[in-house]
Amino acid sequence: MSVTLISPFCILLLLIPLLFSSQGIAASPEHHSAAQAQHTLKYSISGSGTFYPYFTNDPHHPGILPDLVARILAQASMRGENIVLPAKRTNRYLASGKIDFDLISPAWLNSSQRSDPRFVFSEAILPIREFVVTRTPAEPLTSLSGQMVGTVRGYYYHDDDIFTRVDFESERALLQALSKGRVELAIVGDLPAKYWSEQDKVNLHFNQLHSQGQLHIRLRAEHAHLLPRLNQAILTLQQSGQIARIETYYLEHAFAGRDQSE
């Protein structure tokens, strides 16, 4: 019986193409880019569920925020999944990493919340305001210190350490409570307040501005490498007028026949 011996040199010649092939796949920039593109960012932007016109619960016209985020992600060539959660659970999910981002105005946050190292913020997307409201006209408040103030459960208020929160499940429930005298003061966004006061025939007075700022994407810090793409997408959509058109569409439908110059 004869045995054919293969020299070590021949074995090495056979292995070299395989080694280079596997290294090429591992180091391929196209491979890394494709893997990164497959990541789906999870987010929640539903607020209380009655954050109209920012969130409408209408699958065909879901609101300013769902439309904005979908457009930003598409412009940035990213995939996203909107998970509808109550506001309080949104905060818990974001803190634990179950979702990757939300939309928030830093003006709603106190200084420690704004500087939380777990998160990074995108460029500004859209202006937003909230007011202290009362049932009837009254002298502007000088301070909320020591007051009982109607608020939305799970929402941030930059100064809620100086007043007593009386939480309600939504903007709509909050204004109904104000109308019934269950609270004398409430903090609510100007657009949701206008919408629900008209829908439910609730008389209210905008007593004073409580916060004024811009909405930003608040992104978990481990995704900070995505910020340049997101920021470029936001800038592109602003410059092309697409963000303004989305806002105008919902304002016209929410407040048809009303003066939008307020």
Q: For residue range 211-259, what is the model confidence (pLDDT) as tens digits?
A: 999 999 999 999 999 999 999 999 999 999 999 999 999 999 877 644 4
Residue 6 has pLDDT above 60, yes or no: no
Give the mean model confidence (pLDDT) for residues 106-128.
97
Q: What pLDDT does residue 256 have?
A: 67
pLDDT at 3 over 90: no
pLDDT > 70: what percent of the chain? 83
Q: What is the pLDDT of residue 34?
A: 45
Closest CA to 87 of 147, 134, 177, 157: 157
Record the tokens describing residue 52, joined without a space: 């109209």
pLDDT band of 2, cuts 50, 70, 90: very low
pLDDT at 261: 38
The tens digit of pLDDT for each residue in 11-38 reads 444 444 444 444 443 444 444 444 444 5
Q: Which two tokens stand for residue 27?
A: 């180091």
Q: What does the domain layout of the chain look like in residue ranges?
A: 39-254
What does the pLDDT average to over 50-76?
Answer: 95
> Tokens at residue 71, please?
């457009």
**What does pLDDT average to over the chain?**
87
CA distances from 221 to 70, 75, 101, 208, 218 (A): 21, 21, 10, 35, 9
Helix/strand/coil for 196? helix
Mean pLDDT of 108-116: 97
Arch. (CATH architecture) of 39-254: 3-Layer(aba) Sandwich (3.40)
Residue 133 pLDDT greater than 50, yes or no: yes
Tell me what pLDDT residue 24 has.
41
Beta strands in the chain (DSSP E): 40-43, 79-82, 101-104, 119-121, 126-134, 148-152, 164-168, 186-189, 205-220
With 50 as the cut, is the pLDDT of residue 262 above it? no
Using DSSP's 3-state secondary structure scheme, residue 181 falls into coil
Above 50 in pLDDT, residue 91? Answer: yes
**Whole-structure pTM value:** 0.82
pLDDT of residue 38: 59
